[in-house]
Amino acid sequence: MTLIATWNVNSIRTRLPILEKWVAHRNPDIILLQELKCMEETFPLTAMEDLGYNVEMLGQKSYNGVAILSKYPIEDVVHGLPTLSNDPQARYIEAFCGGIRVASVYVPNGQKIDSDKFNYKMNFLKALKKHARALLAQDESLIIGGDYNVAPDLCDGHNPDIFEKNRILCSLQEREALKNVINEGLIDGYRVVHPETLHENQKKFSWWDYRSGSYENNKGYRIDHLYCSPKAADFIQNSGIDIETRLQERPSDHAPVWLSLTPTAN
């Protein structure tokens, strides 16, 4: 069995104690990280190696930064989206490990509808769509996981109003742009295992704003996803969101999302 997880840690250095605790409990084979908020020089490499992981990362000072941690050897590393050349922001890394091609992606937040940052988000999703098409054409076991900063469906946000009001993370434009990526032929691993989350009273979230007691009031969003190629989806065994990490001292605003695959996937 292979267990793969994605987690926006919101600073790897600050989150190290919580991450170590979580790894001891969940023990993933592959971890896709976002928002490292550091360069390679200040990344806690030894701590990760002590946990048993090989590391490939794309760092950036203060903002963004993505990594792939793997207990398997890591090959074919791609730094940055090939379809978005000269992007100064560290938001994408891809590699082949444990028989699966994986990518850790940090889609821009977008800040405000129709702002410059929003346009950058739309361009990023367009580029991701193009690259997803190329990857899927290889017909491999593939998982593109990360913080997509988009709630795909109305059940992926705490309140229907936020969708009606076209708020950031929930707007029609963002959901259409994400759908364009997914419709290349990707499967939402978590939703496959948990179709019950489509029901109003069984929603599950992966992100809660630090502000205004969002977690306490469960005003969350499901914006962290593990999208699978058909070959990977065939072997999905189980999936979950480790929301209890959000209750610990100095938590990330995101919870880890994980997916287990039967051995034949790789």
Partner DNA sequence: ATGGTAGCAAAGCTA
Q: Would you call 169 helix, strand, or coil by DSSP?
A: coil
Q: Which of 53, 92, 106, 221 is catalytic?
A: 106
Q: Confirm whether 72 is a catalytic residue.
A: no
What angle is formed at CA 253 by the lines to CA 247 and CA 254, rounded to 5 degrees?
Answer: 95
Which of 50, 63, 202, 244 forms a contact with DNA (CB under 7 A)? Answer: 63
Asked if 236 contacts 192 with a C-beta cutoff of 8 angstroms, the reply is yes
Stretch that binds DNA, among 106-114, 132-140, 153-161, 239-247 (CB under 7 A): 106-114
Which of 21, 138, 210, 248 forms a contact with DNA (CB under 7 A)? Answer: 210
Instruction: Name which of 13 and 133 has its Cβ closer to DNA.
Output: 13
Asked if 170 contacts 162 with a C-beta cutoff of 8 angstroms, the reply is yes
Residue 245 found at the interface with DNA (CB under 7 A):
no
Asked if 230 contacts 185 with a C-beta cutoff of 8 angstroms, the reply is yes
Q: Tokens 């793969």 — which residue?
A: 4
| Smallest gap from residue 153 Cβ to DNA (A) | 20
Instruction: Name which of 52 and 210 has its Cβ closer to DNA.
Output: 210
* C-alpha 163 chain-centroid distance: 21
Residue 166 found at the interface with DNA (CB under 7 A):
no
Which of 54, 109, 123, 180 forms a contact with DNA (CB under 7 A)? Answer: 109
Per-residue contact flags (x/-) with DNA for residues 21 to 60, judged by CB under 7 A: ----------------xx----------------------
Asked if 151 contacts 220 with a C-beta cutoff of 8 angstroms, the reply is no
Residue 173 found at the interface with DNA (CB under 7 A):
no
Instruction: Name which of 14 and 54 has its Cβ closer to DNA.
Output: 14
Residue type, 260: S
Asked if 209 contacts 233 with a C-beta cutoff of 8 angstroms, the reply is no
Q: Confirm whether 92 is a catalytic residue.
A: no
Q: Would you call 67 helix, strand, or coil by DSSP?
A: strand
Distance CA 177, CA 124 (A): 10
Asked if 104 contacts 145 with a C-beta cutoff of 8 angstroms, the reply is yes
Instruction: Name which of 38 and 125 has its Cβ closer to DNA.
Output: 38
Which of 11, 180, 197, 238 forms a contact with DNA (CB under 7 A)? Answer: 11
Binding residues for DNA (CB under 7 A):
10-11, 13-14, 37-38, 61-64, 108-109, 111, 117, 149, 210-212, 250
Residues classed as catalytic: 106, 147
